[in-house]
Amino acid sequence: MSRIAVVTGGTRGIGAAISQALKDAGYTVAANYAGNDEAAAKFKEDTGIAVYKWDVSDFDACQAGMAQIEKDLGPVEVLVNNAGITRDATLSKMDKSMWDAVIDTDLTSNFNMTKSVWDGMKERGFGRVICISSINGVKGQMGQTNYSAAKAGDIGFVKALAQEGARYGVTANAIAPGYIGTDMVRAVPEKVLEKIIAQIPVGRLGEPEEIARAVVFLAADEAGFITGSTLNINGGQYIT
């Protein structure tokens, strides 16, 4: 019987690539999404992956959604906290709603989602929690105090969580992607995109599938000695 994996924000962009890669690796995958019903329906039709709709910033919705997945598919053994949003502005122009929205969706959601599966993972003696952070959570980015804070928080979250889960066979790790060639990134003006690529030593954007392969690696049974780590995948743009 294949292991059950849940990917938040799992029907578009990097999340869609992660969901597909896990399925291809033999996992039974459930992809969460928040709002785009049309995109989710097309993803389900194209991939055969089950989709579930709820807002990851809502604690009760996360508990209910995960309970439904476990009822439908079985105990969740791999959780990929990928869902995220941006609300960019300098601090002078950022209002509290912009701050709250990003912190709630990009950081608090890690608690909401992980809380629903953590005790079960510990009891069964196996689990993988993987949080998708960002290069801007590692180095910071002007105009993104909310996003950078949330994504840095993702890294701190897995460092602490790893210490709680290690003796139970449950690992927690983060991946910090650089600029990845999603539809959103490729849609920026050509001159802006050229400036972004000029800062990347390998000379190109990353591909969603490159992040997805790293998730499959960290999710594997054989990755049990890797925990509390952050894997930076950014083409050499920022080296730690």
CA distance 232 to 88: 22
Q: What percent of the chain has pLDDT over 70?
A: 100
Candidates 187, 150, 230, 208; CA nearest to 16 is 208
Q: What percent of the chain has pLDDT over 90?
A: 95
CB atoms inside a 10 Å sphere around CB 130? 26
Whether the pLDDT of residue 1 is over 80: the answer is no
Segment 185-196 shows an average pLDDT of: 89
Q: With cut-offs at 50, 70 and 90, classify the pLDDT of residue 43.
A: very high
Positions marked active-site = 147
Task: Output the pLDDT for position 209.
Answer: 98
Segment 48-69 shows an average pLDDT of: 98
- Going along the chain from its start, the domains and CATH numbers come out as 4-233 (3.40.50.720)
> ∠ CA 173-175-177 to the nearest 5 degrees?
175
CA distance 21 to 15: 10
**Residues present in the chain in total:** 240
Q: With cut-offs at 50, 70 and 90, classify the pLDDT of residue 187.
A: confident
For 234, residues 6+ apart whose C-beta sits below 8 A from its C-beta are 135, 176, 177, 178, 179, 200, 206
